[in-house]
Amino acid sequence: MSEGTGAAETEEFARLLRELKTRSGLSYGTLAKRLHTSTSTLHRYCNGTALPHEYMAAERFARMCRATPEELVELHRSWILADAARGRRAERAERAAESPAIPVVPVAPPAEEEGGAPVVAVVAEPAPPRRRRSALIACAAAVALLGTVVVVTRPTIWGGGNDPGAATAATTGATGTAGTAGVPEPSPSASATAVATATATPAVAVTATAPSPSASPSADGPAPLTVGTRPYVYNDPCSQHFLVNSAPAQVGPPAPERDAPRWAAAYGAVSAGGQEVALTVQGTGSDTVVLEALHVRVTAKGAPLAWNDYSMGVGCGGGIETKSFDIDLDRGSPVITVKGGQRDFPYKVSESDPEVFYITAHTKAHDVRWDLTLDWSSGSRRGTIPIDNKGTPFRTSANVNRPGYDYPPGSSEWIKRMGG
């Protein structure tokens, strides 16, 4: 969380939270208890002195206050703008910290080895503390003339690089530059290092909440927009079921939405019956980008998985119906249709005016792998952005007549569902 933000975007986000809290009639203490957080944290969110690092914290607060689907969309939009402003302030602060002049270091004329071959002297300029290690590594590589690519791994936003299927990078003797593997920088303040970097990523995607932007390059540069993907959206915990090819004793407790990607990766889980995906689309500059159309593509279809069905929640009420788009994966040629009062494409986005789309795909008869493509235009430029689950298709399988298991509150094990 970021204390003392004070920006107009953060204040607008806090105003929306205060309105929801006031209308709900619930006290800070009651909300804090139900959300398993502290009253002081909720106070800071609502008075604008702190901003949640992840939107899901605000979404849980809003749902507890019985926010409407329209209010949830507006709250998400406001959080995106406030989070972007926080990133810009962090970037300015970083540049300010690096602004002191670098002292000039005199360099003696190059000496000569025995035999007349010159000795190349490499002098490293003093680097800011956060980049000093990268600078030293780069200098050492230059002196040794080994041409070795140094690989630095960072933990993912799920707190570690040990998820099954995580990308593994190794040092190589070939000369060259390695690109970032799979996941873009989580914040505008992140900067390129002097060494090649590979990021360990989980086999099943996130976002994040930091939701995970992706943009395909076009003929004259990168696309002027990003798309962040949340692959498992819970209207309520009971709305999400997973198929897992393991007995109940081998499956851990259910996961909340923020941990669903990691949980699914750990158990090789597949969305059961239906899957809701949230797309956050935002321009990267002031120019308006027109979102022309959204398409679905089925990459594989087979018989439904004969696995056990595990529910992420028990005893939920009716879920909140969001404005969204619907995909019937059982159709011969699935198409995206509007539902819940959502208007159809086209839409317009910019850096200050993002859009959030909810895509609900469902099947009763197949195991389906599918992905999306988004057509865009901006001025004379046009392009298409592929949208998937961090390089792999989304996967949804029918769960009709599969053994079902619930994890009741206070329980320490999965219980077979009545009639499941």
Q: Where are the alpha helices (DSSP H) in 239-305?
A: 260-267
Residue 386 has pLDDT above 60, yes or no: yes
Confidence of residue 320 (pLDDT cuts 50, 70, 90): low
What percent of the chain clears pLDDT 90, i.e. is strictly above it? 41
Q: Is the pLDDT of residue 238 over 90?
A: no
CA 178 from chain center: how many Å?
23
Helices (H), 48-174: 55-64, 69-97, 132-144
Tens digits of residue pLDDT in 73-119: 889 988 888 888 887 777 777 777 665 544 444 544 444 444 444 44
Q: Looking at the predicted structure, is the pLDDT value of residue 171 above 50?
A: no
Average pLDDT for residues 17-26, to the nearest whole number? Answer: 90
Asked if the model's pLDDT at residue 229 lies above 70, the reply is yes
pLDDT for res 371: 97
State the Cα–Cα distance between residues 391 and 367, nearest whole angstrom: 19
Query: Is 80 exceeded by the pLDDT of residue 5?
Result: no
What is the pLDDT, as a whole number, of residue 363?
A: 97
More confident residue, 284 or 154: 284
Average pLDDT, the chain: 75
Residue 335: the pLDDT is 95
| Residue 320 vs residues 23, 33, 70, 323, 324: alpha-carbon distances, Å | 18, 22, 11, 10, 12
Q: What is the pLDDT of residue 84?
A: 83
In 190-349, the DSSP E strands lie at 217-218, 221-222, 225-230, 241-244, 270-272, 274-283, 289-302, 308-311, 324-328, 336-339, 347-349
Query: What pLDDT was estimated at residue 316?
Result: 72
* 348 phi, psi to nearest 5 deg: -125, 140
The Cα-based distances of 216 to 169, 171, 224, 263, 296 in angstroms read 23, 28, 9, 28, 17
**What pLDDT shows up at residue 188?**
37
pTM value?
Answer: 0.56
Percentage, residues of the chain above pLDDT 70: 67
Neighbours of 59 (CB within 10 A): 20
Which residues, listed in sequence order, are joined to residue 359 by a DSSP beta bridge?
A: 277, 325
Q: What distance in Å separates the CA atoms of residue 66 and residue 51, rounded to the nearest whole number? A: 21
Question: What pLDDT was estimated at residue 327?
Answer: 96
What pLDDT score was predicted for residue 187?
Answer: 39
> What's the pLDDT at 100?
55
* Residue 390 backbone dihedrals phi, psi, to 5 degrees: 60, 50
> Is a pLDDT exceeding 80 seen at residue 412?
yes
Q: Is the pLDDT of residue 18 over 90?
A: yes
Cβ proximity of 372 and 359 under 8 Å: yes
Q: What is the pLDDT of residue 164?
A: 37
> Is 70 exceeded by the pLDDT of residue 120?
no
Q: Whole-angstrom Cα distance, residue 416 to residue 185?
A: 42
Please list the residue range(s) of the chain that carry CATH number 1.10.260.40: 8-90
Which of 99-108, 255-264, 286-295, 346-355 bottoms out in mean pLDDT, i.e. has the lowest?
99-108
Average pLDDT over residues 324-335: 94
Report the pLDDT averaged over residues 155-167: 36
List pLDDT tens digits, range 201-223: 333 333 333 344 445 445 568 89
Partnered with residue 325 across adjacent β-strands are 338, 359
What pLDDT was estimated at residue 141?
Answer: 45
Superfamily of segment(s) 8-90: lambda repressor-like DNA-binding domains (1.10.260.40)
Burial class (CB in 10 A: 0-12, 13-18, 19+), 123: exposed
Torsion of CA 74, 77, 82, 85, to 10 degrees: -150
- pLDDT of 314 above 50: yes
Segment 52-79, tens digit of pLDDT: 988 888 888 998 898 887 888 889 988 8
